[in-house]
Amino acid sequence: MPSPRTSARPAKAPPRLPPAPPAPPVLGVLGAVAALAALVATLTGTVRKDGFFTDQAALTWWFAGSWAFFAVAVAALRAAPSRYVVPLVLSGALAVAATGLVAPPRTSTDSFRYAWDGRVQAAGTSPYDHAPADPALARLRDDWLFPSGAACAGPDRAAVSEEVCTRINRPRVHTIYPPVAEGYFLLVHALSPPGVRHKALQVGGALLAVAVTAFLLLILRRRGADPRRAAYWAWCPAVPVEAVNNAHADVLAVLLAVAALGVVARRRGLGGALFGLAVAAKLLPAVLLPGALAGVRRWRDAAALLLPAAATVALTYLPYVLVSDSSVFGYLGGYAEEEGYEDPAAKGRYALLRLVLPDSWSLPAVAVVLLAVIAYVWRRGDPERPWSGSLLVTGAAFLLLTPGYSWYALLLIALVALDGRWEWLPTALAGAASYVASSPAALGPGTPTAAYALAAGAAVAGAAARWWAGGGQSQPLRRKPRWMTKQAAAMTSRTPG
């Protein structure tokens, strides 16, 4: 019979296996580089594919492949050691942006209007006074923007006269672009060598896109956030396609908006002025203001942001008002009507709401839901992270309005990069699917509704996953301000014992 001393002795623990050695850092870097190389190759093929008017089915698959490799590349970046992340993001941003330069604009003709507006201003005429087809500006025409004869064959040409056509869309209406965008068009024209044509605006778009990446990295570094988030913008297929190849002026507005969000928590006046410049480049950044006002309870604090924003917009419009004989808003009202925001059935606007509501109720429902989201952001938003509330308002607006143009989502993508909530990226992809894949030759006219429905599901699923990860507790947008955290830490350090 064993003695009590012997029976009380604990059983000998089995020997522990040594931990598996960590993967060499070079493997994580090589994986990210390989995924990025596949993304760049697919994007190059996508931009070279001239199928928007002739083969949208094939173009749709090129777009799908680009987004798939984008997801793989972003996932692979997680395995890269931290010290290599910023060089990888920046070098990837340059490579991805460069793919937009390998062909002329493929899926949009808006940049031709930009080039024309810059030329008109350089000639001393307000871009708001004459439509491109106006004979008063015939002296400024050339064979590139206004071809004739056999060169007029093609679906992306608009007739100006019996012999002359133009690459500019809607040539019989005045421009709708705000003054900061018009100033940018003039600057690009002034800096461009003769005969450069579309390439000048594409290079400008590439420089602006890379500048956005740099601003994102700077803001994330100051916040102590993971710099990998910047890849959501830097490597996203929408950036080389829309900001570079199609050279949409939205990228200028995104740069100004990101700069505004980066400073508004500390310097409201400067942030307000930058917001004003962003709105005067493209009106869409106005949806960011509720996020910038999150947590503001006093009219004085709100005025410190809103007054500089309004003053900046007014000052940028003023020179054009003084030199223009026509309205500086141009075709803006007609454009809103043309795009179906007053008659949603015409262009598939409010597609998700119209699944459950009569068409006539769509616009009031949009107003009610957006006001509710704005109120939530104002009450629960974090003034230290204005991009978080801005992302919620912007994402909700996209899901409610279901726009059919993919370049509008550039702003949404930059907000995802700042906040890290990647579940909103499918909303940007839904815009691309609506624009490229909705023809009968591709995925069909039901594509916009299906794409935005899936995007809404992804956004809800992401929010639910974050709620579950938080232990079933609500995750408010608002957090304790940084100054309170520092003050508490200082008091703790002075406490004896």
Quickly state the pLDDT bin for 7 (edges 50, 70, 90): very low
Q: Can you give the pTM of this predicted structure?
A: 0.89
Show the DSSP H helices in 49-131 as ranges: 56-77, 82-99, 110-122
Structure tokens at 6: 């012997």
Q: List pLDDT tens digits, range 329-341.
A: 887 777 777 766 6
Residue 245: what pLDDT? Answer: 98
- For residues 344-356, give the mean pLDDT: 81
Q: List pLDDT tens digits, range 117-143.
A: 999 999 999 999 999 999 999 999 999
- For residues 183-189, give the mean pLDDT: 98
Amino acid letter, 159: A
The gap between the terminal CA atoms of the chain, to the nearest Å, is 54
Closest CA to 109 of 256, 216, 248: 248
CA distance 415 to 258: 8
* Residue 252 near residue 282, CB atoms below 8 Å: yes
Residue 483: what pLDDT? Answer: 34
**pLDDT of residue 231 exceeding 90:** yes
10 contact partners, CB below 8 Å, separation of at least 6: none
* CB crowding 124-136: b at 16 or more within 10 Å, else e: ebbbbbbbbbeee
CA distance 112 to 141: 12
Quickly state the pLDDT bin for 297 (edges 50, 70, 90): confident
Quickly state the pLDDT bin for 467 (edges 50, 70, 90): confident
Quickly state the pLDDT bin for 466 (edges 50, 70, 90): confident
**pLDDT of residue 303 exceeding 90:** yes
Average pLDDT, the chain: 89
Residue 96: what pLDDT? Answer: 98
Closest CA to 436 of 214, 246, 201, 250: 246
Closest CA to 433 of 359, 353, 348, 363: 348
Give the 3-state secondary structure of residue 439.
coil
Quickly state the pLDDT bin for 364 (edges 50, 70, 90): very high
Tokens 């296996």 label which residue?
A: 17
Strands 158-159 and 165-166 come out as: antiparallel
CA distance 436 to 409: 14
Neighbours of 161 (CB within 10 A): 12
Lowest-confidence region among 159-173, 187-201, 322-336, 386-400: 322-336
Tokens 């679906």 label which residue?
A: 155
Show the DSSP H helices in 224-350 as ranges: 231-234, 238, 250-263, 268-279, 289-292, 299-323, 332-338, 344-347
CA distance 309 to 437: 38
Show the DSSP H helices in 137-191 as ranges: 179-191
Neighbours of 187 (CB within 10 A): 13
**pLDDT of residue 68 exceeding 50:** yes
Residue 482: what pLDDT? Answer: 42
* CB crowding 377-410: b at 16 or more within 10 Å, else e: bbebbbbbbbbbbbbbbbbbbbbbbbbbbbbbbb
Closest CA to 396 of 380, 373, 418: 373
CA distance 390 to 422: 14
334 contact partners, CB below 8 Å, separation of at least 6: 173
- For residues 210-230, give the mean pLDDT: 97
Lowest-confidence region among 6-15, 184-193, 281-290, 345-354: 6-15
Residue 12: what pLDDT? Answer: 56
Residue 367: what pLDDT? Answer: 94
- For residues 436-441, give the mean pLDDT: 87
Q: Residue 478: is it exposed, middle or buried by C-beta count within 10 angstroms (0-12/13-18/19+)?
A: middle
DSSP 49-70: ---TTT-HHHHHHHHHHHHHHH
CA distance 113 to 248: 11
Structure tokens at 347: 């262009």
Quickly state the pLDDT bin for 489 (edges 50, 70, 90): very low
* Residue 92 near residue 231, CB atoms below 8 Å: yes
